[in-house]
Structure formats: structure tokens, C-alpha cells
A and B are shown apart, each in its own frame.
Chain A
Amino acid sequence: MRELVTSAGLLVDFSDFLGAVERQPMSEADLVRDAQRGDTAAFEELYRLHVSKIYGLCLRMSANPAKAEDLTQEAFIRAWQKLGSFRRQSSFRTWLHRLTVNLVLGDLRSTGRWESRLTAIDSLPERGDGGAGAKPETTFDLERAISQLPPQARMVFVLHDIEGYKHREIASLCNLAVGTSKAHLHRARKQLREVLKR
């Protein structure tokens, strides 16, 4: 038992209080600060706080679970490497999110899947890349339908309609004209609505 004699001479058992303090989760700012000092345990906490969001983003953007796992790993490794440059001008979540979006876009570019669609906006397939026979469930499976969109349309839809980015931001991130971003979103929504009606 841990005890404390108060100024009034009372003996107080403060085990419960200390236990509560010890169980108190650290704030994200504290975790970031400790991780910046090289504390991998603090960084692991940050990983646990954000991994679902980051994996979800990678999965929706890549439409490939194995690739999404690789990208999620890479995002956290890069975050660790760049943590020293994080200046708290934005939240850690926003910073990590941006870093991940850039990483996924870079991966798509490097594998050629992005460019292959740049010239193909007007030849958007009716049911997307993975559409052969892949009719969504009767109860509309939006996730699945999103995964069937072509890469750029999917990327713009995920960033705009799920993640809340504006066209100006998407255009900057993806190196597109604002009008092109709008065109991709229009095509994506149109395709999803058609799937929704089936």
C-alpha cells in the first residue's frame, strides 16, 4: 500500500489514485514528442491509434489488400523517418494522412497504373477494372463498387467524398487540373450510381 501523510496528519492510501494516474493514457502530443526523441514504444502507440485509418485509406486508394498492407507499413516507416521534421503546424493525424496519400500516389505513379489512366478518362469502362462478372451484392456494397473504379476516379472519389478533401487540394496532390479532378469525380459518382441502381 502506498501511503501519504497529509498536512493534517492523516494517513491516506493513495494506491488507487496512483493506479489511475499510471493508467491514464498519454496524449497524442506527448506520444509524438516522445517518438521524436526516439521512443519506439510511443511510436507504437501512435501506430495503434492510427493504423486502421491509414490502412483503410490505403485499401480504398489501392483496392488491393496486400498492397494496402505494404503501403501502410511504408507509411509508418516514413513517418518515423520524417518525424523530426514534424513541426506541429497541423495535427499528427493530418500530417500522417498527407504523407500516406503522397506515398500511395507515388506508388501508383511508379507502377504505371496512374499514367495508364491519365489518357483514358473518356474511355472509362462501364464497370471498372475488376468488373468482369463482379456484380455487387443485392444489398449495395459501396466498398466493393469503389474498389472497381479505375485508379484515378477511385482516388478522387475517396479523397473528395470519403476523406473530405477539396478539388483544389486533390489537384495539387495528384498534379491534376481542378477541372480534371472534377471530371474524375463526376465519372466515379456516375458509375457508382449506376451500380447502385442494379
Chain B
Amino acid sequence: MNCEQVREQLDDYLGGYLDEADRQAVEHHAETCVSCRADMKDLKNLLAQARQLSPGVPPAQNLWPAILEQIEDSRAKNWSNANRSWLALAAVLALAVLLIPLLLRQQAPQPGEQVTVAVTDSMAIDAATQAKVDLARSEDRVLLVRRDLVEAIEIRRDLLGPEASQSVEESLLVLDKAVADIQQALEENPDDRRLRLLLAAKYQHEVRLLQRVSRV
């Protein structure tokens, strides 16, 4: 390497970007060239001074009050926007909850009652099978609501702010638990009317939680 080539490589040399062969070539040249050695020394001196600069510089004034004021403003706006969104979602859920008990009452057999539902002209299913279908539909509905909820959170995560996001995530966990309960109930006793009513009450409880989130 000649002086010009070495000077072109000095930045990369000191930054550790050169491969072994080039690194050795620069060092070998610097050992024999006073001018390049001086350049290297200057550059090392500059970098040492840069490293010694204090990483922190305190601002001349306390910026926190202005930051807090803007945080509170943006939080108020976010809540307002979030409320509109969550109230709409809560309304959909509330409608679903109102429909579920109605559906369950329509389909639930009274003690001793034989219920059959005509599905086609040539086929009928009994009440137990229908109950399974109803619960499966309810489960599907909860999963759909959950999916919408997740999408809404992902879209609005930046706008919602940390507190709202946390509340929503906790509500999602509750919904997850409800879905798990439904699946377990389905497996254990699909014909138990009281159990199905209990599940409907559970849906209502989840909705109240979500409504509370939307009203905070």
C-alpha cells in the first residue's frame, strides 16, 4: 500500500472494518511512514476525545411539565377515540349476548320434553345434537369477536396508549378463558341446560368487562 491508499483506509482501519490482510498492510505501512503514522495518531486522538464526551447533557430547563401536559392531552383524545370504537364493539357483543339466551331458550328442551328439529324433509336431529350445534355456534361467535378485538388492537395499538392496551389485553385473556370453559363444557355435558345458561351468563360478564374498559 502507498500513502494515498493507506489514508483512504485509515477510517476503516480504526473502525475495525478491514479484513486481516488489509489491516496488516496498513500497520506495516504506518511502521515505516512517518507521515501516515502521524495521520493515524491524529485520528486516534480525535476518536479518543469523541469517546470522552459526556454521553448526557442536561437540558437548561425541566421539560417534564410540558411533556406531561401533552401526554394528558393525547391520552384524553385517545380515550375519546377508543371509547367510540369500543362502544361500537361492546354494542355488537351486547347484541350477541342478548341473542344467546334467546337462542338457548328456544332450543333448550324442558324436562321430559322430547324435542326434534326438522333440518330437511328427510332428516331430523334430536335436542342434544341441537344443543351441541348451538354451543358450537356460540363458540364460533366468541372466536369471531376475539379476532375482531385482536385486529382492532393491532390497528389502534399506537393510538390506544399503554393503559388502554393493557386493559384490552387483560380482557382478551378473560375471553380466552371463556372459550376454554365452553370447550370443556361441550365435552363434559352438552345436554345440561343449566350449564348452557351459566355459559350465557359468563358471556354477559365478559361483555360487562369490555364495556367497563370502554368507559374508563
- Bound together, the chains give a CA A55 to CA B62 distance in angstroms of 11
Interface string of A121-156 (1 = CB under 8 A from B): 000000000000000000010110000000000000
Chain B contacts of A77 at CB under 8 A?
Answer: 67, 70-71, 74
| A195 vs chain B, min Cβ distance (A) | 10
The answer for the CA separation of A131 and B83 in the assembled complex, in Å, is 53
Number of interface residues of B (CB under 8 A): 41
Contact between B59 and A36, CB atoms less than 8 A apart:
no
Q: Are B158 and A84 in contact (CB under 8 A)?
A: yes
Chain A residue contacts of B157, Cβ below 8 A:
84-85
| Chain B window 5-40, contacts with chain A (Cβ cutoff 8 Å), 1 for yes, 0 for no | 000000110010100000000000000000000000
Contacts of B155 in A (CB 8 A): none
Q: How far is the CA of A14 from the CA of B61 in the complex (A)?
A: 40
- The 0/1 profile, CB within 8 Å of A marked 1, for residues 68-96 of chain B is 10111011000000000000000000000
Q: Does any Cβ of A come within 8 Å of B60's Cβ?
A: yes
Beta-carbon nearest neighbor of B159 in chain A: A81
B111 contacts chain A at the CB level, 8 A cutoff: no
A76–B3 alpha-carbon span in the complex (Å): 48
Verify A84–B53 contact, CB threshold 8 A.
Answer: no
Contact with A along B36-70 (1 / 0, CB 8 A): 00000011011101110111111111011011101
Instruction: Classify chain A: how many residues form its interface, as a range.
Output: 35 or more
The prevalent SS among residues of B at the interface is helix
Residues in B with CB closer than 8 Å to A53 are 55-56
Contact partner of A189 (CB less than 8 A), chosen from B46, B67, B68, B160, is B46
Contact status A36-B162, CB under 8 Å: yes
Expressed in whole angstroms, the minimum distance between the Cβ of A112 and any Cβ of chain B is: 25
| Residue in A65, A73, A140, A192 whose beta carbon sits within 8 Å of that of B70 in the complex | A73
Quick check: is B161 within 8 A (CB to CB) of the other chain? yes
Known contacts A73-B70, A189-B43; 16 additional CB pairs below 8 A are A37-B166, A38-B161, A53-B55, A53-B56, A55-B56, A56-B56, A56-B57, A69-B59, A84-B165, A85-B158, A140-B49, A142-B53, A167-B17, A192-B46, A193-B43, A196-B45
Please list the residues of chain B having a beta carbon within 8 angstroms of any beta carbon in chain A.
Answer: 11-12, 15, 17, 42-43, 45-47, 49-51, 53-61, 63-64, 66-68, 70-72, 74-75, 157-166
Using CB atoms and an 8 Å cutoff, list the residues of chain A in contact with chain B: 35-38, 40, 43-44, 47-48, 51-53, 55-56, 59, 65, 68-69, 72-73, 76-77, 80-85, 140, 142-143, 157, 160-162, 167, 182, 185-186, 189, 192-193, 196-197
